[in-house]
Structure 1
Amino acid sequence: MSEPKASTTTPGDTYKGWLFKWTNYIKGYQRRWFVLSNGLLSYYRTQAEMGHTCRGTINLATANIAVEDSCNFVISNGGAQTYHLKASSEVERQRWITALELAKAKAVRMQLESDDSGDDCSTSSPPPAGQGGGARNSEVQSTLRTLGSKVEDLSTCNDLIAKHGSALQRSLSELEGVRLGGETGDKIRQVTERATLFRITSNAMINACRDFLALAQAHSKRWQKALQAEREQRVRLEETLEQLAKQHNHLERAFRGATVLPASQASPAGECKGSVSGKGDASDEDDEIEFFDAMEDVPEFITVPADPKYHKRSGSNISGISSEMGMDDQSLDEQSLASNPESPQSQEVEPVRKRRTRIPDKPNYSLNLWSIMKNCIGKELSKIPMPVNFNEPISMLQRLSEDLEYSELLDKAAKCQSSLEQLCYVAAFTVSSYCTTVHRTGKPFNPLLGETYELDRLAESGYRSLCEQVSHHPPAAAHHAISERGWTLRQEIAVASKFRGKYLSIMPLGSIHCIFEKSNNHYTWKKVTTTVHNIIVGKLWIDQSGEIDIVNHQTGDRCHLKFAPYSYFSRDVARKVTGVVTDEGGKAHFVLSGTWDEKMEFSRVMQSSRGGENGAEGKQKTVYQTLRARELWRKNPLPEGAETMYYFSSLALTLNESEEGVAPTDSRLRPDQRLMEAGRWEEANAEKQRLEEKQRSVRREREREAARTANSTEDAVIEDSITDSPLKSTHQDNYKALWFERCEDVATGEATHIYKGGYWEAKEQGSWELCPDIF
């Protein structure tokens, strides 16, 4: 699928996009976010600044726009402000010039209209030729003023007619009395004068009405003709724009084909609109990938009916198009729902309990960071005694359970008929687990050995999960989740972390497994590296970087995801993720693109081609031509007031909520964590030290017991002479997890902890005798 375009048009005549602005001779051109709206061009350092910090604004009504070369142009308002700008390509520069010229014309026209409406002394003289819209507006204003004066004349005549009519009526009444009394003389003359005045006023009224009616009729016809002409012109303009858009689309395709396919003329990925650079096929890790914009019309491609013999692992071009073309107008989840109308998701299930939506606000306690961190450089994070001031009031087990916030993606994947479609949803689920970390700079509590956490969401989402801390050094947690909607998720995550002074690197170790009951597809993948920047100075921020390979061990399908590290000098969108879904033979079927903190989209691959060597490193470029992109996943908005609640999501707010019947080792019952959530941080720090010392003393006792057992076993072996070599103890700590057992994973060959059962049965019976006393 295509990369986000450099500029976009939004409702309300607003044009937005990235441009390079000249700053100074040291920094040169720097990328800035420009917004064109209501005749004003404003710019910001990033899109996030739009709500609070504008770096500069220029009024286009008084500005001059000059083009310097193919990509550069200048906007100046006469010396006070001058912007030297550069677009990413000539096409992009022309788009901005067109938008700026239109916005300038509209701003000038609005200024003229404002001047005309505010000028009470304007005349109705015809406007000078060449003024266009401003001249027409002046004529309309003059006509309206003329009509207004005519209405005033009619009002005056109406008042006179009423006045003289009343006087005439009185005179006629008096004349009637005089006639009956025999007096005529002066009264008849008075009636004649008043009748004459009334006749004159009536004639004036009639003339004013005739003039008003003629003027209104004449201008009404002119306005109707003008309105009809404007409508016809708009229709013609829309048709012309549509034709131009189609021609531009064809020209872009021809340009791309001419510049990418020849080996000697392969264009860099950054020069094509909508291109995305990433890893290529699984068979060549040094390849580069370029994704073209989605195609709206695809009649030139062949569509063939489905045939199981040729649909899978076919090397022909037709297999890449296949009968799956029938889903172009339907998203994958819609296709899946259509194939299984009686799915559990189609039935709304009300939650059995109302979950909380708030926790106490985070207190504002000051802390001397450097006094704690200066002795920690180079040490492993899990071995550093950290106060709760750096924590958030949940444990690592609860943070691990947050991976299930978007479990509906796995629900949809379970309904997919095609393993390749299913892999798209699994990939989106993989990315979604990182979206909660974008603002979460607090460190979760390190779980105590034997600590557990259950997340029972059968009523709300159809799944329940269990986490247990199975090792303390190195720290490792096992997680098992099962859904009644046809999937199982399990993982063992060990965290290796290093503090480097300016940043903190967290490297999760271990594999994640997802198994679907219906198809028996078994997927595995690993997590990427999390980096916390500005530990000592500045505002903390988090980045995810690295690559993930999601493998279907049943079919050989694979999805390669690349999390691009943040770079100030990069022109790409921040937190970018790209990926390719391939079958066992390495043929690409879908491309994925998005950001790990917002959304993921997918596009079906229609054609792919490979160019020759590109650049000094000899890398090859793979070009994918795709259908229109469709959304796979989008992040849910944070709850209101999340900034004062550690930026917790709606699910995270409920994780530490008290719940009856849980195991005595559950993280909800951990006292230091509970005290911290309540805002009693001093007591929480004291309680945290008590729990850690208790854990250390229990560990020392366990090691002593393990040593005694090992010595007695070695003595027995020597005395009995039943072995050729001495028995060696691999670890002094003989701790065994309660609900998980260590074994070798069949799919990956790794040693891991797998859920052995019994927890939920123990909960139903309320039997927790085997649980250790850790709190």
Structure 2
Amino acid sequence: SVGPASLMGLGPSREGEAVNPEGFMLPFPLFLCRTQAEMAHTCRGTINLSTAHIDTEDSCNIVLSNGGRTYHLKANSEVERQRWVTALELAKAKAIRMRNNQSDDSGDEEPASQSDKGELHGTLKTLSSKLEDLSTCNDLIAKHGAALQRSLSELENLKLPAESGEKIKAVNERATLFRITSNAMINACRDFLDLAETHSRKWQRALQYEREQRIRLEETIEQLAKQHNSLERACRGAPGLSSGGAGSVQSAKGEASDEDEETEYFDAMEDAPAFITVTADPKHHRYDPPHSRATCLAHHLLPKKRRRTRIPDKPNYSLNLWSIMKNCIGKELSKIPMPVNFNEPLSMLQRLTEDLEYHELLDKAVKCESSTEQMCFVAAFSVSSYSTTVHRTAKPFNPLLGETYELDRLDEFGFRSLCEQVSHHPPAAAHHVYSKRGWTLWQEITIASKFRGKYLSIMPLGAIHLEFHSSGNHYVWRKVTSTVHNIIVGKLWIDQSGEIEIVNHKSKDKCQLKFTPYSYFSRDVPRKVTGVVTDADGKAHYVMSGTWDEKMECSKIVQSSHGSTSSEGKQKTVYQTLSPKVLWKKYPLPENAENMYFFSDLALTLNEPEERVAPTDSRLRPDQRLMESGRWDEANVEKQRLEEKQRAVRRRREAEAVEALEEGYIPLWFERKVDPMTGELICVYKGGYWEAKDKQDWSICPDIF
């Protein structure tokens, strides 16, 4: 029988050892000695803990058995025995894990490269150095802690008031706990290093395997994309796909189609005309042939001013987005200061104005004779505003409170636009557009954004209003959610998803548009948008189809019938349509767009310096101007100055509002009213801006820059 006291002096810790109750280490296998002095020359027995059986005979005895070999150990007390059993069980569990890991490492994987081994060795060396530092600190803590406790004990022996004695006793107890915790921390660090050394080869091989798998996957995806494009071009270029005979419409995909199982089911939505088997009768069409961009420009662009066609190239600054975003999970991003390195040189007011890039769709809608046909152009316009976002992964500048942006294109395009930042938290912008060609558009958009870990969700809140002057048709709709993917790794990309319901409050016509979220496993064309235009009685007149980054078409419905029942029990509807007509097609990006933030021709002109604008105009914002010029370091300093200036003004305004019992910020050019269509409180244009511009009287404008 060998007492546990004989085991307490086991030598220095090494790989594969477990902490015993006294802070020493239990090795695998366990070596048994009568005294600590015997460790250097005499071993009374060994037992492999990974296969050992641990049992207790009575309150103090422990039995270790392994096949034909049995050892009886005796503890001094029941408490000590239980501590030893716990330590032995932990050591046995670690021994089993070590044995399993060694068997796992016996595979045929290739060894890690020399550079990987060097990197791993350097990391472990650094960890060992840090551990030595911790051990030194631990010794110092033990030394000074013991001295502190001696001093406290001496204080306790002095004749002090009872209250002082109690305080000193409490401090003494805390000092003891501090020393125990420090020892535990050092032991935990030592265990961590041992574990890292044990598993390093296995981890390295797993990492190398994952790297190779990722490279193979990227190559496979790239190859599949090339094959898909080749097949698509071959399909579109194949003979016999340009016309079709009369008859019923059938889906080429049949039951394998990836169409969602909603109530509406569209058969006439594919790009290839072969899917539309009803011959179009020209007399049934009120649409003009779609204009090319050159035709549109020749018709609309009669510029009196030559506008710029390029901006300075984006500097090649590398900055890890994840390093900043990882601390923003679940937070409202408008409250988090971000460097200009993640921005594009436009404000959110300018991005909102970009929605007007395809304003000619509304000019055409003015001339439509029927409200359902006009709805098709309005729907195409609502989709076209997303086409500028497909490559625009940089964020716009968050406008300062009171910041404005005007776009006066009355002579060139027949419209003038004004935006004002009417709230800072949450960020909200009011927008008003008047066109002398017969329409007015207004909106107040509040941006809600949340970072979810792998992606960023941007949710525009608020209704968009569009009214045609002659007919009085009043359309209302809301924007869908934008999602920025690959925040952590990979190339950033943007998707739009959700539904838009456009309602004509005069005629009660509706258009329900669905933005299908992108899926790796779907056979649908990416960025797909589909919809149906119905009248007040619910009768379907047009089918809308296309993509939000390329084009939108409409097909006139000539007949509808009930189709099969979906898996959810909903009745599908099959529409027989005439050939689709292109209502909108995206303009090609300018040359060198990839180095100019992927700006369109219109976006390149939005921040161009212009005379006679209000002193609060985004074009005059100094940090944005510096950033556009490529002076990002100066822009970041200026951005901090502007934000601090805005905070100081807000604190002063809030203090004055409390004293005067008044509201806080009041917009300059807009006023809050209840929207009769939606019942919401919305900022609408109250007038005065363009008159102030004519007089060049900007006396009411605040100094925000």
TM over 0.5: yes
How far did 1:253 drift? 3.5
Counterpart AA for 1:288: E
For residue 291 of structure 1, what is the aligned residue in structure 2?
267
Residue 694 to residue 456, structure 1, CA distance change in 2 (3 Å) = same
Residue 375 to residue 746, structure 1, CA distance change in 2 (3 Å) = same
Match status 1:509 vs 2:485: no
For residue 326 of structure 1, what is the aligned residue in structure 2?
283
Counterpart AA for 2:549: D
Tell whether the 8 Å contact from 1:276 to 1:289 is kept in structure 2 after alignment. Answer: no
Distance 1:760 1:566 in 2: 43
Residue 515 to residue 368, structure 1, CA distance change in 2 (3 Å) = same
> Of 722, 728, 736, which residue of structure 1 is paired with 2:666?
736
Match status 1:759 vs 2:703: no
Distance 1:501 1:605 in 2: 44
Residues 632-683 of structure 1 deviation map (CA, whole Å, 9 limit, x = unaligned): 0000000000000000000000000000000000000000000000000000
Distance 2:470 2:260 in 1: 33
Distance 1:705 1:332 in 2: 59
Tell whether the 8 Å contact from 1:382 to 1:497 is kept in structure 2 after alignment. Answer: yes
Counterpart AA for 1:734: G
Residue 734 to residue 326, structure 1, CA distance change in 2 (3 Å) = same
Residues 501-528 of structure 1 deviation map (CA, whole Å, 9 limit, x = unaligned): 1100000000000000010100000000
Match status 1:621 vs 2:577: no
Distance 1:349 1:654 in 2: 14
Distance 1:357 1:560 in 2: 37
Distance 1:503 1:689 in 2: 26
Counterpart AA for 1:331: Y
1:136-175 superposed matches below 5 A? none
For residue 304 of structure 1, what is the aligned residue in structure 2?
none
> Of 640, 663, 670, which residue of structure 1 is paired with 2:591?
640
Residue 48 to residue 636, structure 1, CA distance change in 2 (3 Å) = farther
- SS of 2:664's partner is coil
For residue 597 of structure 1, what is the aligned residue in structure 2?
549
Counterpart AA for 1:46: A
Residue 276 to residue 375, structure 1, CA distance change in 2 (3 Å) = closer
Tell whether the 8 Å contact from 1:349 to 1:459 is kept in structure 2 after alignment. Answer: no
> Of 403, 421, 429, which residue of structure 1 is paired with 2:381?
429
Counterpart AA for 1:653: L
Distance 1:278 1:480 in 2: 37
Distance 1:451 1:768 in 2: 13
Residues 55-88 of structure 1 deviation map (CA, whole Å, 9 limit, x = unaligned): xxxxxxxxxxxxxxxxxxxxxxxxxxxxxxxx99
For residue 559 of structure 2, what is the aligned residue in structure 1?
607
- SS of 2:639's partner is helix
Counterpart AA for 1:532: V
Residues 280-319 of structure 1 deviation map (CA, whole Å, 9 limit, x = unaligned): xxxxxx51312233244379xxxxxxxxxxxxxxxxxxxx
Match status 1:546 vs 2:546: no
Distance 2:220 2:373 in 1: 36
For residue 688 of structure 1, what is the aligned residue in structure 2?
639
Matched residues, percent identical? 66
- SS of 2:266's partner is strand
Q: How many residues align?
A: 478
Residues 242-301 of structure 1 deviation map (CA, whole Å, 9 limit, x = unaligned): 9x987xx57x848x4xxxxxxxxxx8x94279x78468xxxxxx51312233244379xx
Distance 2:383 2:280 in 1: 30
For residue 747 of structure 1, what is the aligned residue in structure 2?
677
For residue 354 of structure 2, what is the aligned residue in structure 1?
402
For residue 64 of structure 2, what is the aligned residue in structure 1?
none
Distance 2:555 2:243 in 1: 22
| TM-score with structure 2 setting the length | 0.64
- SS of 1:520's partner is coil
Match status 1:672 vs 2:626: no
In structure 2, the gaps of 5 or more residues are 1-212, 269-274
Distance 2:334 2:545 in 1: 34
1:280-679 superposed matches below 5 A? 286-292=262-268, 293-297=275-279, 326-328=283-285, 330-331=286-287, 350-611=302-563, 613-615=565-567, 617-679=568-630
- SS of 1:465's partner is strand
Counterpart AA for 1:635: K
Tell whether the 8 Å contact from 1:580 to 1:592 is kept in structure 2 after alignment. Answer: yes
Tell whether the 8 Å contact from 2:290 to 2:583 is kept in structure 1 after alignment. Answer: no
Tell whether the 8 Å contact from 1:451 to 1:667 is kept in structure 2 after alignment. Answer: yes
Distance 1:528 1:353 in 2: 35
Distance 2:226 2:468 in 1: 40
Tell whether the 8 Å contact from 2:258 to 2:523 is kept in structure 1 after alignment. Answer: no
Match status 1:46 vs 2:225: yes
- SS of 2:315's partner is coil
How far did 1:367 drift? 1.9
For residue 127 of structure 2, what is the aligned residue in structure 1?
none
How far did 1:611 drift? 3.3
Bigger-Rg structure (1/2): 1
| TM-score with structure 1 setting the length | 0.58
How far did 1:47 drift? 5.4
Residue 296 to residue 290, structure 1, CA distance change in 2 (3 Å) = closer
Counterpart AA for 1:774: I
Residue 47 to residue 33, structure 1, CA distance change in 2 (3 Å) = farther
How far did 1:347 drift? 6.5
Counterpart AA for 2:311: I
Residue 683 to residue 456, structure 1, CA distance change in 2 (3 Å) = same
- SS of 1:46's partner is helix
- SS of 2:536's partner is coil
1:203-222 superposed matches below 5 A? none
Counterpart AA for 1:327: H
Distance 1:641 1:365 in 2: 18
- SS of 2:521's partner is coil
Residues 37-56 of structure 1 deviation map (CA, whole Å, 9 limit, x = unaligned): xxxxxx94225986xxx9xx
Instruction: List 4+ stretches of structure 1 deviating above 4 A.
Output: 47-50, 332-335, 344-349
- SS of 1:536's partner is coil
Tell whether the 8 Å contact from 1:559 to 1:579 is kept in structure 2 after alignment. Answer: yes
How far did 1:452 drift? 0.1
Residue 49 to residue 773, structure 1, CA distance change in 2 (3 Å) = farther
Tell whether the 8 Å contact from 1:33 to 1:47 is kept in structure 2 after alignment. Answer: no
Tell whether the 8 Å contact from 1:609 to 1:623 is kept in structure 2 after alignment. Answer: yes
Residue 653 to residue 384, structure 1, CA distance change in 2 (3 Å) = same
Tell whether the 8 Å contact from 1:289 to 1:624 is kept in structure 2 after alignment. Answer: yes
For residue 121 of structure 1, what is the aligned residue in structure 2?
none
For residue 271 of structure 1, what is the aligned residue in structure 2?
254
How far did 1:326 drift? 3.0
Distance 2:676 2:248 in 1: 47
Distance 1:649 1:562 in 2: 25
How far did 1:346 drift? 9.6
Q: Which stretch of structure 1 is more off in the superposition, 697-706 or 759-768?
A: 697-706
In structure 1, the gaps of 5 or more residues are 1-25, 35-42, 55-86, 89-94, 100-237, 257-266, 280-285, 300-324, 336-343, 711-731
Counterpart AA for 2:266: E
Residues 211-240 of structure 1 deviation map (CA, whole Å, 9 limit, x = unaligned): xxxxxxxxxxxxxxxxxxxxxxxxxxx9xx
- SS of 2:412's partner is helix
